[in-house]
Structure 1
Amino acid sequence: MDIRDMQIFLAVANEGSITRAAEKLEYVQSSISIRIQQLESDLNTVLFHRARQGVRLTASGEVLKSYAEKILFLTQEAERAVADNSIPRGPLRIGSLETTAAIRLPFILSDYHNSYPEVDLSLKTGSTDELINLVLKYELDGAFVAAPVEHADLDVTEVGVEELVLVSGGQFPSIERFEEFRNLTLLVFRVGCSYRRKLEDWLSLKGIIPAKIMEFGTLEGILGCIHAGFGVSLLPRSVVERANVQYNLRFQKISDKFYKTPTLFIRRKDAYTTVAMSEFIRIAKHRFNLMEPAFIQTE
């Protein structure tokens, strides 16, 4: 086995298809097939179940995948550690919540790029659960997620605090009684979103089951439907205040237990901390503090 074998194996495992893996790696399909067959022969085991629709990892393949991810990660970390110096440069793969990406991240990325143009930044958005998984699998160098996060393999840094507010269309009066939620549609991100989980937990404590829940993949989809009076959601106040320029929205505070939530930056504990990463975290914390809104006071 060599490093290229591991890269090919992981590409096939992640794509679920030799054809798509070949396209991604810009290899001839037959070459990928031969390398996988040779790897199986060397290891004396079958790594993939083959079917007309694609390939699926066997039990042995699943074991190798976890090691292959670590091998490639450590190889990249070794290269970074040797090449690292006082000037941040090279790739930096960052993950972010949709809400953080919409409001906080543009200023962070702008500051960072202006200071360190030699760093090749890439961004992926997702829910807290999705981003944690990608960091654990070494597919992201770090990610902005919502608290709480507890995992033995993760290093967690609090970069700021978001104030969560209940958001409805501006044409509707404020929600005064919990019973009103029984007739409302909740507009939320996919399962795995921490804001959605907080809203559902809050309503559950009040014994409220909403009439309907609709899932969205984008922040714009949620805001547009709230603007149209289609339902309500729980979002950071910073997002709502910025969105009010375009949408007609109303927001109000919920209970003290749920309305403040830290934004965290997570990394693997076993990851080498490059100068590029250290500076990114520093700039992120600075920007969050600059943009920190005044919290709604309890009436």
Structure 2
Amino acid sequence: MDIQLLRAFYAAAQEGSLSKAAQRLNFAQSNVTQKIQQLEADLGTQLFYRHNRGITLTASGQILQTYVEKILHIVQEARAAVGDSAKPAGPLAIGALETTAAIRLPALLTDYHREHPGVDFSLVTGMTEQHVNDVLHYQLNGAFVTGPVEHPELVQEHVVDEELVLVTPASHPPVDSIRDAGLRTILAFKAGCSYRARMNLLLQEQGLIPDKLMEFASIETIIACVSAGLGISLMPRSIVAEPAEQGRIRCHDVAGKHAILRTVFIRRKDALETPALTAFLSAVRAHFA
């Protein structure tokens, strides 16, 4: 099978649209259509259903997509393997939780960039679930996520343990239990956030249901809204230490097993460890030792 046919198929499968696949590949749409038709003829099977909303993979297409994903990744690995293997260079895509990226990584990334300027580094922030999926599908070389992560195709390394604290307005009296905070509005990141999941566990164990749940996209917004009295949140102490010292919010200890959240670095077991990734892993281990 021609690698260009596979690239056209994979782009179309990911985009769900021939026109978007063409834009992504910088091809004419007719060129993408022709390549997919050629691939279907070569394999003797239909790979897509065509409809008004775009295209959808058939059962055969879904099977092929899994193989093509691996094939394209192996091709990329082969190019990296035959290149200059001594010097870290080329692309390196790493995922991280927003809180980890904001507090734990700036100094590490600054040092890494200074020592390895030839690496085309990109950092993607998001939720654990999405990062795990992206690492599994070769979209990321690795990611800092909430652990433990149990998956047969992944390897994980412990990075750091985060202490979680209940965050309330500064005027709030001391809290010994989540019940003491009352059934206030909970301020959290969108579904998939590990802090939100841990807050849900705390509430469930006490048989509590919050008055309301409000979702936010940034740490700063949540802290500002807690400070203004809109609600309460559960956050790592490292994130809220400064605004707490400034008197903008108040932090309360969380007792028991829910107080600690582990951050791990995950990567695929079968992925080639490029010089850029090897250097990054060494930097991570030294930084968090």
TM-score (norm 1): 0.90
Could you tell me how far apart the structure 2 residues matched to 1:265 and 1:178 are?
31
Q: Tell me the CA shift for residue 287 of structure 1.
A: 2.8
RMSD of the TM alignment (CA)? 1.9
Q: Tell me the CA shift for residue 167 of structure 1.
A: 1.4
Could you tell me how far apart the structure 1 residues matched to 2:117 and 2:245 are?
32
Could you tell me how far apart the structure 2 residues matched to 1:233 and 1:27 are?
48
Q: Spell out, residue by residue over 1:169-209, the C-alpha distance to the aligned partner (whole angstroms, 9 max, x if none).
A: 22433334433455211112222222221111122112222
Q: Spell out, residue by residue over 1:57-81, the C-alpha distance to the aligned partner (whole angstroms, 9 max, x if none).
A: 1111111111111111111122222
2:156 is matched with 156
Q: Tell me the CA shift for residue 246 of structure 1.
A: 8.2
Could you tell me how far apart the structure 2 residues matched to 1:91 and 1:247 are?
43
The reply on whether 1:76 has 2:109 as its aligned counterpart is no
Q: Spell out, residue by residue over 1:150-180, the C-alpha distance to the aligned partner (whole angstroms, 9 max, x if none).
A: 1111010111221111112224333344334
2:111 is matched with 111
Report the 3-state secondary structure (helix = DSSP H, G, I; strand = E; otherwise coil) of the residue aligned with 1:129: helix
The reply on whether 1:165 has 2:159 as its aligned counterpart is no
Distance change (3 Å), C-alpha of 1:66 and 1:242: farther
Could you tell me which runs of 5 or more consecutive residues in structure 2 were left unpaired when the two chains were aligned.
none
Could you tell me how far apart the structure 1 residues matched to 2:219 and 2:7 are?
34
Q: Tell me the CA shift for residue 47 of structure 1.
A: 1.3
Distance change (3 Å), C-alpha of 1:51 and 1:194: same
Could you tell me how far apart the structure 1 residues matched to 2:285 and 2:210 are?
36
Distance change (3 Å), C-alpha of 1:34 and 1:240: same
1:296 is matched with none
CA contact (8 A) 1:147 1:262 kept: yes
The reply on whether 1:53 has 2:59 as its aligned counterpart is no
1:87 is matched with 87
CA contact (8 A) 2:10 2:68 kept: yes
Within a 5 Å distance, the mapping from 1:1-299 to structure 2 comes to: 1-243=1-243, 248-289=248-289
Q: Spell out, residue by residue over 1:192-230, the C-alpha distance to the aligned partner (whole angstroms, 9 max, x if none).
A: 222221111122112222222222333333223222221
Distance change (3 Å), C-alpha of 1:151 and 1:18: same
CA contact (8 A) 2:165 2:251 kept: yes
Could you tell me how far apart the structure 1 residues matched to 2:9 and 2:83 are?
27
Distance change (3 Å), C-alpha of 1:18 and 1:182: farther
CA contact (8 A) 1:160 1:285 kept: no
TM-score (norm 2): 0.93
Distance change (3 Å), C-alpha of 1:218 and 1:47: farther
Could you tell me how far apart the structure 2 residues matched to 1:249 and 1:109 are?
29
Whichever residue aligns with residue 191 of structure 1, its letter is A
Q: Percent of aligned positions with the same letter in both sequences?
A: 47
Distance change (3 Å), C-alpha of 1:28 and 1:247: farther
Moved more, 223-232 or 23-32: 223-232
Could you tell me how far apart the structure 1 residues matched to 2:223 and 2:125 are?
17
Q: Tell me the CA shift for residue 146 of structure 1.
A: 0.9
**Total equivalences in the alignment:** 289
Could you tell me how far apart the structure 2 residues matched to 1:14 and 1:180 are?
48
CA contact (8 A) 1:18 1:32 kept: yes
